[in-house]
Every structure is written in C-alpha cells, then in structure tokens.
Amino acid sequence: MAQEVSEYLSQNPRAAAWVEALRCDGETDKHWRHRREFLLRNAGGLAPTGPDAEAAADAESGSRHRQLQQLVSFSMAWANHVFLGCRYPQKVMDKILSMAEGIKVTDAPIHTTRDELVAKKG
C-alpha cells in the first residue's frame, strides 16, 4: 500500500500538500508514513483533489473543520495504539481499528498489557 500512497500523492499535489500539513512536529518518518495512510484512507471528501475543491470546502467550512479534527484525532489515537501501546475506551478502539483495516504495519513494537502480565503470574 505504501507504493500506492506514494503514487497517489505524486499524481495529486494538492492532496499531498494538504496531508503533509497534518504531520506533527517531531513525528518520525515511520509513524508518519502509516498515519498518513490512515488519514488518506479515511479522508473522503476532506482532501482537496481538484481545482473546485477549495470553493466547496469553504461552503461547508464549519462541518468540514470538525470532521477534519475528528479524523486527525482518530489517526493519532490509532498511531498511539499501534506504536506506543496506548489503550482507549472500547468504542474508540473499535472505531480506529475499523478505520485502519487493511493498513499493514510490519515494524510496530509488541506491547504487553498489565492484564497479560497479571495473567502470567497467576
């Protein structure tokens, strides 16, 4: 999928600039590569693709802004879960994991939860 993302971005410079603006300071290339894929897979109509995209976005700016904030939040929660082992309420976990279906992360660390450690001792 990484090749597909790179190809898509090379063909859509507006979308590439849009998604690149969502990268956090200090975010590693590895984390960003996967979070960028998450964002692009779930952006729907939020990512600009054509010359008329800006005018349409301005007409719905309040709703669009809230949707974008939610997408960015979900992408960060997903990346935190995958790379740092963070856990969130089950409703959030279900949402971010369903949004991430099909994203292959082969170099993520393996985390052991407190419950798993307690179960091993028992």
Instruction: Show pLDDT as tens, one digit a residue, over the chain (122 residues).
Output: 567 777 777 787 888 888 999 999 999 999 999 999 999 999 887 777 655 555 455 555 778 889 999 999 999 999 999 999 999 999 999 999 999 999 999 877 777 777 777 887 76
Taking each helix axis from N to C end, the angle separating 29-42 and 13-20, rounded to the nearest 10 degrees, works out to 120
Task: Output the pTM of the full model.
Answer: 0.76
DSSP per-residue string spanning 11-61 = H-HHHHHHHHTTPPTT--HHHHHHHHHHHHHH-GGGS--STTHHHHHHHTH
Cα distance from N-terminal residue to C-terminal residue, the chain: 42
